[in-house]
Amino acid sequence: MAERRPKSHSLERVLGTSALFSTAYGNVGSSIYYALGLVAALALGATPLVFIISGIIFFFTAATYIEATTMYPEAGGSSSFARHAFNEFWSFFAAWGQMLNYIITAAISAYFVPHYLGVFYEPLKSAPWDIVVGIGVVIVLGMLNIVGVQESAKVNIFLSIADFFTQVLLVLVGMVLVFSPEVLIENIDWGVYPTWNDFLVAIPVGMVAYTGIETISNLAEEARDHEKTVPAATKMVVAAVFAIYLFLPAIALSAMPVEDGKTLLGLSEAEGGYAGDPILGVVKQMGLGAFQHGVEIYVGILAATILFIATNAGIIGVSRLTYSMGQHRQVPAVLRTLHPRYKTPYIAIIVFGTVACLTMIPGQADFLGTMYAFGAMLSFTIAHISVIRLRYSRPEFERPWRGPMNLTWKGTAIPLFAIFGGLGTALSWLTVTILDTATLVFGVAWMAVGLTLYVVYRRNQGLTLTETAKLAVPKPIVEHDVEYDSVLVAFEDGQYSQAAVDTAVKMATRRKRGVHVLVTITVPANAPIDAVLPEAEARAATAIERARVAGGRRVNGHWEKVRVGEAGRRIVDEAAVINARAIVMPLRRQGAGALFPGSVQKVLSERPCRVILTSEPVDASHRVAAKD
């Protein structure tokens, strides 16, 4: 069997800068709805300063992620960086820290959903209903992820834009109505409020504001022109989020100043504060007159929706990471087991979703914040160290993007951004671990359980702790080199249409061209894009084989994996790559209100060449499903 043409598409790459930005901002931007209260409870009047310091660390961390991701555009984030820089053991160590991040992201986002829905029903803002509803959110989303219900990318983009402009509007209105530099200065009495210990702990907790920075890295293998889109999208996220956190905390502390060592922004609802819904607290202090109630309802609904999506992102992150770890034989294969019907990693969703629910039971938001800081600072520190190591171990490796602030010494460009960022995240990790006993106990226990699991599993598999042993991933079926200027036949998820093949073969015969069959396989959102889907891959291979039998030697083909709704884009891209003279697609019956399938609409809208839609005879006597 011949190899595919040099310019192949082993993974679907369709995400541009705007898609990467909206996805990442949706995850990062959601944290303002709880991070503000968590930090204010510790830092009091120094809260704006904490977010500035955290933002500087975030800037260095973002630079590290851009450089490493453009070097290795694959899912995994710091785990992937550590694998290339060191070995599999450190890759697992980083991955297990990431796992804690995703679990806490899901837990803390779900926990704050009922607090914002409290605009409709006050008891939701306090125990036990905030815990009950938060756990319910995780359970519902876990079930939806198991059955493979897909989130709408367009809805996420819309909500991200709405969220960003809402926060910008709050900043603008707040600067006019409540901002006061004099109050901000009076809010701080160093060493008293806040105490030095609380101020130091607040800095790593402030990093919860930037949860989701790994999102772009994990989507890099699905990004188009990753060497350009990844840096552009990450810079946009950094700029947008930092702008919000530069001003909104100052406005919040102007509206709710520190009095007797306390601020309403950091007090619980039971104490008459707004720690559970800090953005609603800011709105309530603005005095918007006739618009007040309506704005509160709007912010409450928007915040709850954004946090709901962030919870889902955490669950998806857990399932994807677990599947990837299973592929690299870092955790037992049972954790990456796909549901026999829905093809989703249901065991991982159940196990780690349960852990997320358990962390909510105490009803301590500050504990969730410090635990996120523990996992995130550990993961970020490993990322920084990995970039430094790669500068020495692989200086010749292509780096499409280099971070700023480099110092050449003995022929090596030393990444100062990674050194400063690594010092910041490492010190933050030590601070939150040493100064918070609960975080120390739970964090160490989490890492100990993970390391024990890793050692036992690797020994049972006959593997060393450091060797990389990835499970084989089937390659796309390709019969022989693609003939350019050919006719492209596109099938989705193993669908087979004899009429489409017959039409393509007739066209190719008249023009002495070849026929190339592209079968797209839809991968669930909560599994990596290269997830092994044996049944779907077998159906795709069968469809290609049937087309080859029907059309003879002039027919070749391959299958590729795509996300939901991306098949049309992939077909258009493939047509451009092979310079197709025509695209032939079978037309399937749609539900009410839908004239064509989404993929067909996409192909027709861009129309890179002639497009022919075929339909089967009424009796469909010669149509054979590829799976038969």
3-state secondary structure 184-228: HHHCCECCCECCHHHHHHHHHHHHHHHCCCHHHHHCHHHECCHHH
Q: How far apart are CA 276 and CA 286, in angstroms?
A: 18
Name the DSSP letter for residue 488.
E
Task: For residue range 187-217, list pLDDT tens digits in order.
Answer: 998 888 899 999 999 999 888 877 667 778 8
Residues 6+ apart with CB under 8 A from 13: 221, 222, 223, 224, 226
Could you tell me if 424 and 549 lie in one domain?
no
Range with the poorest average pLDDT among 127-136, 258-267, 277-286, 339-348: 339-348
Q: Flag whether 505 is in a domain.
A: yes
pLDDT of residue 473: 63
pLDDT of residue 74: 84
Average pLDDT over residues 329-342: 87
Are residues 107 and 413 in contact, defined by beta-carbon separation less than 8 angstroms? no
Average pLDDT over residues 395-415: 90
Average pLDDT over residues 249-276: 92
Q: Flag whether 10 is in a domain.
A: no
Task: For residue range 447-503, list pLDDT tens digits in order.
Answer: 999 999 999 999 999 999 999 988 766 666 655 455 557 899 999 987 898 999 999
Tell which residue, 308, 106, 138, 105, has the closest CA to residue 211. 105
Task: For residue range 541-584, list pLDDT tens digits in order.
Answer: 999 999 988 888 888 899 999 888 888 888 998 898 888 989 99
Task: For residue range 51-70, list pLDDT tens digits in order.
Answer: 999 989 999 999 999 999 99
Are residues 504 and 550 in contact, defined by beta-carbon separation less than 8 angstroms? no
pLDDT of residue 219: 78
pLDDT of residue 177: 92
Is 157's pLDDT higher than 50? yes
Are residues 486 and 580 in contact, defined by beta-carbon separation less than 8 angstroms? yes
Q: Flag whether 478 is in a domain.
A: no
- What radius of gyration, in Å, describes the C-alpha atoms of the chain? 26
pLDDT of residue 446: 96
In 10 A of CB 303, how many CB atoms?
Answer: 26
Burial class (CB within 10 angstroms; exposed 0-12, middle 13-18, buried 19+) of 313: buried
**The 610-614 sheet, strands edge to edge:** 555-562, 515-522, 487-492, 582-586, 610-614
Structure tokens at 582: 């025509």
Q: Flag whether 627 is in a domain.
A: no
Burial class (CB within 10 angstroms; exposed 0-12, middle 13-18, buried 19+) of 370: buried
Domain CATH code at residue 83:
1.20.1740.10
Q: What percent of the chain has pLDDT over 70?
A: 90
Could you tell me if 323 and 189 lie in one domain?
yes
Average pLDDT over residues 331-349: 87
Provide the sign of the torsion angle of the four alpha carbons 610, 616, 622, 626, taken in this order: positive
Could you tell me if 247 and 306 lie in one domain?
yes
Could you tell me if 425 and 496 lie in one domain?
no
Average pLDDT over residues 38-49: 94
| List of long-range contacts for 414-419, beta carbons under 8 Å, 24+ apart | 414/388, 415/64, 415/67, 415/387, 415/388, 415/391, 417/60, 417/63, 417/64, 418/60, 418/63, 418/64, 418/384, 418/385, 418/387, 418/388, 419/384, 419/388
Q: Flag whether 623 is in a domain.
A: no
Residue with the two structure tokens 């400063």? 420
Burial class (CB within 10 angstroms; exposed 0-12, middle 13-18, buried 19+) of 246: middle
Q: What percent of the chain has pLDDT over 90?
A: 51
pLDDT band of 19, cuts 50, 70, 90: confident
Structure tokens at 42: 């510790």
pLDDT of residue 478: 54
Could you tell me if 66 and 201 lie in one domain?
yes
Is 618's pLDDT higher than 50? no
Q: Flag whether 331 is in a domain.
A: yes
Is 595's pLDDT higher than 70? no
pLDDT band of 27, cuts 50, 70, 90: confident
Tell which residue, 374, 408, 363, has the closest CA to residue 111. 363
pLDDT band of 593, cuts 50, 70, 90: very low
Could you tell me if 409 and 516 lie in one domain?
no
Could you tell me if 165 and 55 lie in one domain?
yes
Range with the poorest average pLDDT among 27-31, 81-85, 330-334, 531-535: 27-31
Q: Flag whether 471 is in a domain.
A: no
Domain that includes residue 21, residue range? 17-460
Average pLDDT over residues 64-90: 93
pLDDT band of 319, cuts 50, 70, 90: confident
Is 137's pLDDT higher than 90? yes
Q: How far apart are CA 174 and CA 177, in angstroms?
A: 5
Q: Flag whether 621 is in a domain.
A: no
Tell which residue, 1, 208, 14, has the closest CA to residue 105. 208
Are residues 465 and 455 in contact, defined by beta-carbon separation less than 8 angstroms? yes
pLDDT of residue 75: 79
Could you tell me if 183 and 299 lie in one domain?
yes
Q: How far apart are CA 110 and CA 141, in angstroms?
A: 10
Could you tell me if 148 and 239 lie in one domain?
yes
Is 591's pLDDT higher than 60? no
Average pLDDT over residues 143-154: 74
pLDDT of residue 508: 83
| φ and ψ of 205, to 5 deg | -65, -35
Could you tell me if 424 and 505 lie in one domain?
no
pLDDT of residue 621: 41
> What spatial distance separates the first Cα and last Cα of the chain, rounded to whole Å?
24
pLDDT of residue 484: 56
pLDDT band of 414, cuts 50, 70, 90: very high
Output the CA angle 415-429-306, nearest 5 degrees: 95
Structure tokens at 547: 């087309």
pLDDT band of 239, cuts 50, 70, 90: confident
Could you tell me if 420 and 533 lie in one domain?
no
Q: How far apart are CA 290 and CA 273, in angstroms?
A: 23
User: Peptide bond before 257: cis, by omega within 30 degrees of 0?
Assistant: no
Q: How far apart are CA 594 and CA 589, in angstroms?
A: 9
Average pLDDT over residues 82-100: 95
Could you tell me if 295 and 221 lie in one domain?
yes
Tell which residue, 470, 489, 521, has the closest CA to residue 12. 521
The chain-wide mean pLDDT, for the chain, equals 86
52 in the Ramachandran plot: left (φ > 0), alpha (ψ -120 to 50) or beta? alpha
Domain CATH code at residue 552:
3.40.50.620
Query: Residue 208 CA to chain centroid, in angstroms?
Result: 15
Boundary-marking domain end, from 441, 460, 479: 460
pLDDT of residue 524: 82
Count structural domains, the chain: 2
Are residues 183 and 253 in contact, defined by beta-carbon separation less than 8 angstroms? yes
Task: For residue range 275-318, list pLDDT tens digits in order.
Answer: 999 999 999 999 888 999 999 999 999 999 999 988 988 898 88
Average pLDDT over residues 216-232: 83
pLDDT band of 624, cuts 50, 70, 90: very low
pLDDT of residue 211: 66
pLDDT of residue 277: 93
